[in-house]
Amino acid sequence: MQNEGYNCPACKKAMQIVTINEIEVEACLNSCGGIWFDAAEIFRFTASGIDDSRDPNLQKLLSYKPSANTENREKLTCMKCGIKMRRHEYRENSGIFVDECYECGSIWLDGGELEAILSNPAVQVSNQERAQMAIDLKKKIEEDKIRIAEEARNRYKKYRSWNR
């Protein structure tokens, strides 16, 4: 376990880098129990067949209870790219809400949400579905980057034409 230098987007305490199921994540182990997944990591993580019996970090993360009033709080800021994250339902009709950065695809789980995801049959999907979701997410991120770059080019061209 090492400290990366990122602070928790929820409680602002120092995050630790932990490896669980061969996937490196940032976790707020000493405070709120939140977990940071880079783009598509959550799908790899949940698809990897979780065995919490031997991993003390995972046991600790699964022991956190859901935080109160996470729906009504101010939007979290992405600790990777600094933009406001959007809160949405993890999977339709699951009742589990997560925060996602629409710029880089990172997902923040508040304390208790990982356990809710792993134990809720409404969010269980096949490995094939997870793989397709990861592919779709990466494609959407790339399309958004292209669209944003094109919009910036158009704004720059417009700006240049005004200043001639």
Domain locations in the chain? 2-162
Residue 46 pLDDT: 72
Q: Which residues, given as ranges, of the chain have pLDDT below 50?
A: 1-3
Q: What is the pLDDT of residues 122-162, one digit of tens each?
A: 666 665 676 777 788 888 888 989 999 999 999 988 888 88
Q: What is the largest CA-CA distance in the chain?
A: 68
pLDDT of 68 reads: 60
Q: What's the pLDDT score for residue 22?
A: 79
* pLDDT number for residue 48: 61
Spatial strand order of the sheet with 23-27 comes to 2-7, 14-20, 23-27, 35-37, 107-109, 97-100, 86-89
pLDDT for 1: 46
Confidence (pLDDT) at 35: 92
